[in-house]
Amino acid sequence: MTKARFPMRRFTSLLFGLVVSASVSAAGGHEGLAPANTQVANKAMLQRGAAMYMNYCAGCHSLKYLRYSRMAEDLGLTEEQVMENLAFSDTAKFGETINAAMTPKDGAAFFGKAPPDLSLSARSRGVDWVYNYLKSFYVDPTSATGWNNTILANASMPHVLWELQGSQSAHYGEAKEAGASPAVESLELTTPGLLSPAEYDAAVRDLVTFLEYAAEPAILQRQAIGVWVLLYLALFTLIAWLLKQEYWKDVH
């Protein structure tokens, strides 16, 4: 009798492949972008990022998947701490989602483009993109806001973090086609801000970590459950293998 062999090796490599591809796609690798290295399980980073968000972004951008109450619970803060220090307006309620101070219509009137809901951007563009975007504003006297951005050319958003970062100037190279505006080759920090470049990177990393969490408030629970699912799968694989050994013991 020929021995029917359980394709154990193929099964384990399949399982391994699934785990690796899942973690790669979760990291959302984009070519040419500096990695944001966010840490959504880090509560201190999330708290600092939330404060940055409320101070510098909530005036224009909403976070429609996140309620203040949920944020308090996940970030380990009390209702008072959130409503006194982090709620954007006095009329905001603890049970509400985080709205922008500005309506999309006003935003469109002021900036030519409505500031989008940021939970969507953190997901659709990815955290690395947002991290690089916030580091890539430069002075451009020809634009309406006085700023431009190498990641999102002609962005209608001003550089709201300029006090922290300082201002960068562009070095231009050759234009790609005749008549086109010259391409930006590199950026140089010409006026320092309140933070050093390393401190600014860390602050933006906190902010983007918070945005990653805000895009999917269940992410903390999901990751914790994921660990148990993998442990369960590993244990189950072991039991199945032991059972197979037991069944085939007398056949040889």
Q: Which residues belong to the annotated binding site for heme c?
A: 57, 60-61
Smallest distance, Å, CB 100 to ligand HEC?
9
Beta carbons of 133 and 152 less than 8 angstroms apart: yes
Among 33, 60, 127, 170, binds ligand HEC (CB under 6 A): 60
Residue from 54, 160, 195, 202 that binds ligand HEC (CB under 6 A)?
160
Q: Is residue 111 close enough to count as binding ligand HEC by CB under 6 A?
A: yes
- With tokens 């390393």, the residue in question is 198
Find the radius of gyration of the CA atoms of the chain: 24
What gap in Å lies between CA 112 and CA 109, rounded to an integer? 6
* Nearest-approach distance from CB 214 to ligand HEC, in angstroms: 11
Residues 179-238 that bind ligand HEC (CB under 6 A): 207
137 alpha carbon, distance to own chain's centre? 18
Centre a 10 Å sphere on the Cβ of residue 41 and count the other Cβ atoms it contains: 13
Residue 184's nearest CA partner among 144, 233, 149, 231 is: 149
126 touching ligand HEC, by CB under 6 A = no
Residue 130 found at the interface with ligand HEC (CB under 6 A): yes
Judged by the rule CB under 6 A, the positions of this chain that interact with ligand HEC are: 56-57, 59-61, 107, 111, 113, 115-116, 118, 121, 125, 130, 133-134, 155-158, 160-161, 207
